[in-house]
Structure 1
Amino acid sequence: MTRITSAGRLALSYPERGATAGGRPLPAGYHHLHHRTRLGRGRAVFEAAGTAVTTFGVHRASGVRVRCDDGAVRPGSRVDVGLGWGPLRIDAPCEVVWTAYGPARTGFAYGTLPGHPERGEESFLVLLDPDGTVWFEVTAFSRPARWYTRLAGPLVPFLQRCYARRLGRVLRRAAAAA
Structure 2
Amino acid sequence: MSHERGATPEQQPVDYAAVGATQAGDLLQYPPEGFVPVADQIRLGSGVERFRASSSQLFNWIAQRHAGVTVSDVHVPAGDSYIGIRYDDDGTPLEQVRSTGERRFGEDGVPEVSAGATLTLSGHAGGVAISGRFRVVFVIEESHRSGFALGSVESSSFSGEQSFVIEHRDDDSVWFVFRAFSRPLGLSTRLVPALHRRALTGLATAYLRAMSPAWSTPGA
Name the TM-score, length of structure 1 as normaliser. 0.84
Is the contact made by 2:68 and 2:124 (CA closer than 8 Å) also made in structure 1?
no
**What is the CA distance between 1:115 and its match in structure 2?**
3.2
Q: Please give the secondary structure, in 1, of the residue aligned with 2:182.
A: strand
Is the contact made by 1:35 and 1:164 (CA closer than 8 Å) also made in structure 2?
yes
Residue 11 of structure 2 aligns with which residue? 9
Residue 77 of structure 1 aligns with which residue? 117
Residue 97 of structure 2 aligns with which residue? none
- The range that moved more, 6-15 or 133-142, is 6-15
Q: Which has the higher helix share?
A: 1
Aligned residues: 174
Tell me if 1:97 matches 2:137: yes
Q: CA deviation digits over 1:106-147, x for unaligned, max 9?
A: 100011112342111110000010111111101111112343
Q: Distance in 2 between matches of 1:166 and 1:147?
A: 23
Q: Distance in 2 between matches of 1:75 and 1:20?
A: 16
Is the contact made by 1:39 and 1:175 (CA closer than 8 Å) also made in structure 2?
no
Q: Distance in 1 between matches of 2:3 and 2:148?
A: 25
Residue 114 of structure 1 aligns with an amino acid whose one-letter code is: E
Residue 27 of structure 1 aligns with which residue? 32
Tell me if 1:130 matches 2:182: no
- Unaligned regions of 5+ residues in structure 2, if any? 77-110
**What is the CA distance between 1:163 and its match in structure 2?**
2.2
Is the contact made by 1:34 and 1:138 (CA closer than 8 Å) also made in structure 2?
yes
Q: Distance in 1 between matches of 2:215 and 2:49?
A: 8
Residue 50 of structure 1 aligns with an amino acid whose one-letter code is: S
Residue 165 of structure 1 aligns with which residue? 205
- Unaligned regions of 5+ residues in structure 1, if any? none
Is the contact made by 1:49 and 1:174 (CA closer than 8 Å) also made in structure 2?
no
Of 31, 48, 51 in structure 2, the residue corresponding to residue 46 of structure 1 is: 51
**What is the CA distance between 1:8 and its match in structure 2?**
6.5
Q: Please give the secondary structure, in 2, of the residue aligned with 1:12.
A: coil
- In 2 relative to 1, CA 152–20 (structure 1 residues): closer, same or farther, beyond 3 Å? same
